[in-house]
Amino acid sequence: MQDKKLADMPEGAESPLNAAVTSRDTSTVQMATEAVKHKQCKLAFQPVMQAHPPQGVAFYEGFIRVLDETGRVIPARDFMPQLENTPIGRELDCVALEMGLRTLARNPGIRLSINMSARSIGFARWSRVLERFLKKDDSIGERLILEISESSAMTVPELVIDFMDRLQPRGIAFALDDFGASNFSFRHFREFLFDAAKIDGQFIRGVSDNPDNQALVRALVAVAREFEILVTAESVETKQDAEFLVASGVDCLQGFLFGAPTVSAPWKDATIRQTGS
C-alpha cells in the first residue's frame, strides 16, 4: 500500500520521508549557524588513558558542542553528519580548533586532540587560527593532535598528505579516526604517515563477547604495528572489554569506563579512574 501511495505521487513531488529529512537538515544547519553567530559553543573533554603502566591520562579529546535556543547542550553526533559538507561545518571546525588551542595555551601540562574535516584544510580562516596560536607559542603544536576520519581523508587524499607533511615538522600529530569503519586501503598508511589510529567504536563495544570483532581488532592492531602507529580503542565501556584490548596490544583506551565527555576541565579532577581500577 505504501509503495502504491508513492507511485501515485505527482512527478517531481517530494516524498514525506525526503521532506522530513530535508526539514531536519535545514533545522540543524540553522541551529548550528545561530550557535556560531552568538558564540554558543563549547568543548567537552574526555580522557584517553594509557593502556599500560603508568596507566595515566595520555591526552584528552575535545568534542565540539553547540547550545540550542533553550540552552541545551547538543553533542556533535547530532549535528556534524548534516554539516560535514556545508560552510557552517567549516566554521565549526574553526571554532573547535580555536577553543582547543586556547585550552592548550592555558594548560601547558596537557595534550589535546581535536576533530577536523579534511575539507577544512583549504579553509583560510582555519589556517589563520592555527598560525596565530603557533606564532605565540610554537610548543603548542607539540601537544596538539588533529583527528581526521577515514572517510574524510579519502575525499581529498593528496591534500591531506601535503597538509600532514607541512605540519608534522612543527610537532603536530595526526590520528586516523574511525579506523576500520570504511574502505581505507592499508597501503594509504604508507602514504599518509598517521601517528595514531583510533579503532571505530562499533568494533569495541562488547568486544570481549564477540569473536568476530575480536579477530578484527587483532588484525587492525597488527596492521598499525607494521607502520609503527599508536592504537587507541574508543567506546570502551566495560572492564572485560578493556582487559581484552590491553591483551591485544592496544596502546590507549577511551570511553565511559574512564570518564564521559564533560565541559568542565577533567585534568583538574584528581578522581579520574585509572585503567583497570
Write the pLDDT tens digit of every residue in 146-196: 999 988 998 899 999 999 999 999 999 999 999 998 876 677 778 888 999
Note the pLDDT tens digit of each residue in 86-97: 888 899 999 999
Give the pLDDT score at 176: 94
User: Comparing 216 with 71, which gets the higher pLDDT?
Assistant: 216
Give the pLDDT score at 276: 44
Percentage, residues of the chain above pLDDT 90: 65
Give the pLDDT score at 2: 46
User: Comparing 11 with 74, which gets the higher pLDDT?
Assistant: 74
Q: Average the pLDDT over each of 11-15, 133-137, 254-258 and give the range with the smallest value.
A: 11-15
Summary mean pLDDT of the chain: 87
Q: Look at residue 14 and tell me whether its pLDDT is greater than 60.
A: no
User: Comparing 109 with 274, which gets the higher pLDDT?
Assistant: 109
Give the pLDDT score at 199: 96
> CB neighbours of 44 closer than 8 A, spacing ≥ 6?
62, 63, 65, 73, 75, 261, 262, 263
pLDDT band at 26 (very low <50, low <70, confident <90, very high): low
Question: What average pLDDT does this structure show over 115-123?
Answer: 93
Give the pLDDT score at 10: 55
| DSSP, residue by residue, the chain | -HHHHHHTSPTTPPPHHHHHHHHHHHHHHHHHHHHHHTT-EEEEEEEEEESSTT--EEEEEEEEEEE-TT--EEEGGGTHHHHTTSHHHHHHHHHHHHHHHHHHHH-TT--EEEE--GGGTT-HHHHHHHHHHHHH-GGGGGGEEEEEEHHHHTTSHHHHHHHHHHHGGGT-EEEEEEETSS---TTHHHHH--SEEEE-GGGTTTGGG-HHHHHHHHHHHHHHHHTT-EEEE----SHHHHHHHHHTT--EEESTTT---BSS-GGG-TTPPPTT-
Supply the pTM of this predicted model.
0.85
Give the pLDDT score at 132: 97
Q: Look at residue 144 and tell me whether its pLDDT is greater than 90.
A: yes
pLDDT band at 61 (very low <50, low <70, confident <90, very high): very high
Domain segments of the chain: what residues?
2-268
Q: What dotted CATH number matches 2-268?
A: 3.20.20.450
Note the pLDDT tens digit of each residue in 235-247: 999 999 999 999 9
